[in-house]
């Protein structure tokens, strides 16, 4: 049991037989009436974000969850296969709970959130940025860097990323996994 004073981003709550994580919260003390906490909660099963208001000081049930380091091995019809980096046990994860499956490559590190009581995977988060090799893109035009023009580039995982005109095939780029956008070129 916890109270609204224990709220922090990422805390997992158990409400109405659902697991919800706090995305954002704000403590409000109006001039008239009792204080309350306005929150945005993400359902870990569906991914839907809902607003919810708690009266200040109310008791809530927290769920015990564990973040474990895993390494991506391969993908087949049954799902994505990951290996725990310390115990070497394998886990199969469905595509729906992976934050950016289009940027997963063999050997990629990921963090999987498990419900501690039932040992079920809740979400799989990639690092904020991943480095990927461009396998195909149209050749860029020399001197055309004054504008913010973008072109499509196919990366080694098969995903398509919009990159600036000066980026060429065979170069490595850093991609933001949260938005799927190009961040910068990576020098070897």
**What is 129-186's CATH topology?**
OB fold (Dihydrolipoamide Acetyltransferase, E2P) (2.40.50)
- The neighbour count for residue 54, using CB atoms within 10 Å, is 18
Show pLDDT as tens, one digit a residue, over the chain (188 residues): 889 899 999 899 999 889 999 999 999 999 989 999 999 999 888 888 999 999 999 999 999 989 999 999 999 998 999 999 999 999 999 988 888 899 999 999 999 999 888 888 988 989 999 999 999 998 876 665 666 788 899 999 999 999 988 888 999 999 999 899 999 999 87
The structural domains of the chain, with segments of one domain joined by +, span 2-60, 65-125, 129-186
Tell me the pairing of strands 172-176 and 150-155: unpaired
Closest CA to 109 of 84, 89, 132, 87: 84
CATH fold match for the domains 65-125 and 129-186: yes
Residues with Cβ within 8 Å of residue 172, at least 6 apart in sequence: 131, 132, 133, 134, 185, 186, 188
């Amino acid at each position: 049991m916890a109270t609204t004073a224990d709220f922090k981003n990422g805390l997992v709550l158990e409400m109405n037989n659902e697991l919800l994580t706090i995305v954002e919260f704000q403590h409000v003390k109006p001039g008239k009436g009792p204080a309350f906490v306005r929150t945005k909660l993400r359902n870990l099963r569906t991914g839907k974000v809902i607003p919810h208001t708690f009266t200040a000081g109310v008791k809530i049930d927290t769920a015990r969850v564990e973040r474990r380091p895993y390494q991506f091995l391969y993908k087949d019809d049954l799902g994505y296969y990951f290996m725990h980096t310390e115990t070497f046990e394998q886990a199969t994860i469905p595509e729906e709970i992976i934050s950016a499956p289009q940027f997963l490559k063999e050997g990629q590190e990921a963090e999987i959130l498990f419900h501690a009581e039932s040992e079920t995977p809740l979400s799989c988060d990639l690092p904020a940025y991943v480095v990927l090799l461009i396998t195909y893109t149209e050749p860029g035009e020399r001197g055309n860097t004054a504008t913010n023009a973008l072109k499509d580039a196919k990366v080694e995982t098969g995903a398509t990323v919009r990159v600036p005109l000066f980026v060429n095939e065979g170069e490595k780029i850093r991609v933001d996994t949260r938005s799927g956008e190009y961040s910068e070129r990576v020098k070897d």
